[in-house]
Structure 1
Amino acid sequence: MTSQTTQNNVNPIKIAVLAMGGQGGGVLADWIVTMAENAGWWAQTTSVPGVAQRTGATIYYLELLPEQAVKEMGRQPALALMPTPGDVDLVIAAELMEGGRAIQRGLVTPDRTTLISSSHRAYAVLEKSAPGNGIVDGNKVIDIGKRAAKRFLCFDLQSLAEQGGSVISASLFGAVAGSGALPFSREDFEATIESGGKGVKASLKAFALAYDVAQNAPETPDAIDTAPPQRAVPDTAKHPRVKALLDDIRQNFAPAAQPMLVAGLQRTMEFQDLAYGKEYLEHMRGIHALDKQYGGEGKNWALTTAAARYVAVAMAYDDVIRVADLKTRASRFNRVRDEVRAKPDQLVYTTEYMHPRLEEICGTMPTFLGERIENSESLKRWLQPLFRKGRFLNSTSLTGFLMLYGLAGMRRFRRTTLRHKIEMQGFQEWLNLILQTAPNDYDLAVEIVNCRRLVKGYSDTHARGQSKYQKLIRAARNLSGQNNAAERLRTLRNAALADEKGSQLDALLEKGDQAFA
């Protein structure tokens, strides 16, 4: 890019920076402009805020022109306000999918563009809210970027910023300097950071880390390792009774299933107590014995591994008590402060939107009382209007916090609630179906286990998932004994995960056997 500017001095260097709110895209753009102006260049920056993703990804557009080029023109330059597809020299993306969007917009071209992108992900709302796994494969962006850009640098700039104690704008600035994409020295870059006067030390550290990585970057970016980390069974625990459960996993369960069993044990104990975790392992002991009896060893213990996850999910369901517990944890308040980058002397107030339905309220009651209300039409007519509208609750106020904290404290009574009774009835029916199916069709039993993936969340989310799950369980019973039953149930499960309302699932069920012809 530098050689291009030298050959044709009247063409400015054109830069597009794509960043989300809070990532310092504006700071990065200002740094580049300040550096260019200090070197005697003409520089201009504009920004186009977006509204579609998260707080909205903003495109900062910069044009830089040497003073000598301006003199040759004999007039002040007219610089563009927005990037034009096919006419950008340097694209800087603060997140991998923003790099992909730059490619999609045509801002990255193989004949001229250097693309610098962080490889980390900040998941979009659609990825988080998808019924199944909605996370987009970042390696597809990397593969396309290799073909679309003249030069492509991609590594985790967010982690480098965190190592330096700064924000990603500093590591992005370092990556630009290390890439050699701009005709300025390292000293020019560092002097620009120092002139800002705020967070200089941390910014320079993050800058240096990214500079070194960019200097030694490979010709093409490496693929991202998307495999989940394997969790080894801990050798020790703070409580001897917990250690006994961990030793039980290590000694009596197949190694392939042990990482997920540790995660399941942790989730069930966190949800309720140590006795509940022990109950989880007893359920898993029965499934593991069944797995061993019907060929699980030859199938890498697929039934035990799948059940280790979804038995824990079924036992640690999302109820109002758990939601209140999660919202009052110190780690949650600390995370919110980190996300808004609050200073130690600043106060942060968190407002929760709460909209429990009457069913959730009844679910927290003792079984006899909750059933009485749900079975009484007159009581429901009288109570329903009280729960038609959502409410805003300040969980950082004393009243709001104590209200949620008290609700979270009801965990000790959870086993006596109506919601627990309902969940355990459905859970036992599911387990019984697995035990009945495994001796005759091992693969179908595994798919029945995986159907539990549909049941999650609370309120309307739980109701929709539960509805689709029940349809799958009915289909599994009907498919038992048929050819390719596991494959057909898997197809139905994928259809159920494809959309929130379950329209694709309903369409397949309506077609019946014709859908698999």
Structure 2
Amino acid sequence: MNPAQPIKIAILAMGGEGGGVLADWIVDLGEHCGYIAQTTSVPGVAQRTGATIYYVELFPEARARADGGRPVLALMPLPGDVDVVLASELMETGRAVQRGLVTADRTTLIGSTHRVYSIAEKSAMGDGRVDSAQLERQADRAAKRYIRFDMAEAAERAGSVISAVLFGALAGAGVLPFSRAQFEATVERGGVGVKPSLKAFGAAFDRAQNGDAPPTTDAATAVAAPPQPHHAAVRALVERVQQRFPVGSQALLLEGVRRQIDYQDIAYAATYLDRLAPFYERTTDDGIRLADAVARHLALWMSYEDTARVAALKTRATRFDRVREESRVQPGQVMAIHEYMHPRLQEICETLPGGIGPWLAGSGLPRRLVERLTREGRVVRTSSLGGYLLLRAVASARRWRRSTVRFAQENALIEGWLARIARAATLNPQLAAEIAECQRLVKGYSDTHERGLRNYTLVMDAAERAGPQLAPATLRELRDAALADEHGDRLRAALARHALA
């Protein structure tokens, strides 16, 4: 660092992560060690819950007196002019790099590797997640030194908050002219949560100084033991996978079997394997890759989200545990979960057994009565006994799922999709792989499912008209256009551009 210039530190954190506390600690540390300190914060809503940039500048008071005045300190970080960047989450690290705050000749970058997905990532129609590994590679190239580990996990283990972990990593990095004892005294002066904060500080200090410890076991080469289910029929399915399918695909197939049993029953899982068997008869590498793609997407499609599935997922013990953990509910505290339910008449009819659903959809007074009762939607408190039992009753509708109109419709779509893939595989395996990927268009429930199905139908109709001469890249472009725009405008433009409308 240039002794004639202030020490410049930028902190990028989301609301509730203690970025302000961390900035105050750095200011307090500097002032108690003979530095003039200034901090500013610029709130923003570019990310999840209001990401904020906190900026701190430190200048030696003795040097200021020797120069005969007080330093002029900046209010905002400038690209290429930051000594230390602290990021509370991996996307915040990426934002710092994108803004030019991280430079290879100067900046020490300290960031957590855990992810809190942005609204844009969550709301994307396809897989909108940014590649975490790519973010880390870019940050590593951009910084002079990059210190990274899962700081959220470290804070959880210590019973503290991520700001204490970042403070410890900053001390361990050794880029500031202060000792560990001076850092720790700053935490003690704060007077709140001192013991867990110091525990988190110490763990992060050691991690920053020693780097990532080598794994204690050979996790990279360890092979998971095959499942040994007690149920005879389930065990038979596992043995079928192990005996009749390629070794490299067995983990994927066993997960698909598990998903189908969880969704419906053992016979449904057997149907899943029956549908896949013809694809795995192709022994070439391209054939196995295509079969694996079909296996992955078929597992998702066969466990489509109807009202029974949604109700089952919302009432699972694991979901209550996850909400309790994410909300940090303390022992003795009461947790209440409210679900907003707005089922349309169509979803209700699709859940009813046999011919009851079609009868209700075509009836007069009964149909109008149901539409009136569901027009406004309702809030169900699943953490109460009544709300929980109501959703469990809806979840039990899976017993007659096979007799519903929705099941027949979904299975017809699945069979048509598999037939298209099989036909294309004999002439153009790359095109077959792109057809398999088109399953991504069909997902969710209610309006989301309806829009996705409409786009899927448009894409498949275009592929059917073009035939095996359709370029795989063109089909990929159509699929990406459908995933990029829920209204279908980009898809229609792409269809017109390729004369496939």
TM-score range, shorter chain: 0.7 to 0.9
Amino acid at match of 1:307: V
**Pairwise CA distance, 1:186:** 1.4
Q: Tell me, in whole angstroms, the C-alpha distance in 1 between the residues paired with 2:79 and 2:480.
A: 37
Query: Residue in 2 aligned with 1:168?
Result: 162
Q: Deviations over 1:441-475 (max 9, x none)?
A: 44433332221121110011101111111122222
What residue ranges of structure 1 are gaps of 5+ in the alignment? 219-227
**Pairwise CA distance, 1:254:** 1.4
Indicate which of 88, 97, 100 corresponds to 2:91.
97
- Whether the aligned pair in 2 keeps the contact of 1:447 and 1:486 (CA below 8 Å) is yes
Query: Residue in 2 aligned with 1:344?
Result: 331
Q: Determine whether 1:370 maps to 2:362.
A: no
**Pairwise CA distance, 1:264:** 0.8
Indicate which of 349, 358, 367 corresponds to 2:345.
358
Instruction: Name the CA shift for 1:118/1:396 in 2 (closer, same or farther; >3 Å).
Output: same
**Pairwise CA distance, 1:231:** 8.6
Query: Residue in 2 aligned with 1:333?
Result: 320
Query: Residue in 2 aligned with 1:506?
Result: 492
Instruction: Name the CA shift for 1:75/1:308 in 2 (closer, same or farther; >3 Å).
Output: same
Please provide the CA RMSD for this pair: 3.1
**Pairwise CA distance, 1:258:** 1.5
The 5-angstrom pairing of residues 203-222 of structure 1 reads: 203-217=197-211
Query: Residue in 1 aligned with 2:40?
Result: 46
Q: Tell me, in whole angstroms, the C-alpha distance in 2 between the residues paired with 1:413 and 1:199.
A: 54
User: TM-score, normalised on structure 1?
Assistant: 0.85
How many pairs does the alignment contain? 494
Q: Tell me, in whole angstroms, the C-alpha distance in 1 between the residues paired with 2:309 and 2:457.
A: 24
- Whether the aligned pair in 1 keeps the contact of 2:105 and 2:143 (CA below 8 Å) is yes
**Pairwise CA distance, 1:243:** 2.7
Q: Tell me, in whole angstroms, the C-alpha distance in 1 between the residues paired with 2:273 and 2:287.
A: 19
Indicate which of 139, 152, 156 corresponds to 2:150.
156
Q: Tell me, in whole angstroms, the C-alpha distance in 2 between the residues paired with 1:296 and 1:475.
A: 30
Query: Residue in 1 aligned with 2:236?
Result: 244
Q: Determine whether 1:181 maps to 2:167.
A: no
**Pairwise CA distance, 1:83:** 3.3
Q: Deviations over 1:382-429 (max 9, x none)?
A: 644544444333322333222222222322232233322322222233
Indicate which of 496, 500, 503 corresponds to 2:482.
496
Instruction: Name the CA shift for 1:437/1:74 in 2 (closer, same or farther; >3 Å).
Output: closer
- Whether the aligned pair in 2 keeps the contact of 1:174 and 1:208 (CA below 8 Å) is yes
The 5-angstrom pairing of residues 98-113 of structure 1 reads: 98-110=92-104, 112-113=106-107
Instruction: Name the CA shift for 1:365/1:71 in 2 (closer, same or farther; >3 Å).
Output: same
Q: Deviations over 1:36-67 (max 9, x none)?
A: 34434443433332223211112222233444
Q: Determine whether 1:310 maps to 2:297.
A: yes
Q: Determine whether 1:58 maps to 2:52.
A: yes
Instruction: Name the CA shift for 1:235/1:109 in 2 (closer, same or farther; >3 Å).
Output: closer
Instruction: Name the CA shift for 1:445/1:147 in 2 (closer, same or farther; >3 Å).
Output: closer
Query: Residue in 1 aligned with 2:257?
Result: 265
- Whether the aligned pair in 2 keeps the contact of 1:84 and 1:107 (CA below 8 Å) is yes
Query: Residue in 1 aligned with 2:28?
Result: 34
The 5-angstrom pairing of residues 222-301 of structure 1 reads: 232=224, 234-288=226-280, 292=281, 295-299=282-286, 301=288
Query: Residue in 2 aligned with 1:223?
Result: none
Instruction: Name the CA shift for 1:195/1:410 in 2 (closer, same or farther; >3 Å).
Output: farther
Percentage of identical aligned residues: 51
Query: Residue in 1 aligned with 2:126?
Result: 132
Q: Tell me, in whole angstroms, the C-alpha distance in 2 between the residues paired with 1:323 and 1:230.
A: 36
- Whether the aligned pair in 1 keeps the contact of 2:431 and 2:468 (CA below 8 Å) is no
Q: Deviations over 1:7-33 (max 9, x none)?
A: 32xx44232211112322233223323
Instruction: Name the CA shift for 1:103/1:486 in 2 (closer, same or farther; >3 Å).
Output: closer
Instruction: Name the CA shift for 1:351/1:133 in 2 (closer, same or farther; >3 Å).
Output: same
Q: Deviations over 1:182-231 (max 9, x none)?
A: 1111122233334445554543343333323322459xxxxxxxxx9999
- Whether the aligned pair in 1 keeps the contact of 2:7 and 2:59 (CA below 8 Å) is yes
**Pairwise CA distance, 1:164:** 3.9
Amino acid at match of 1:491: E
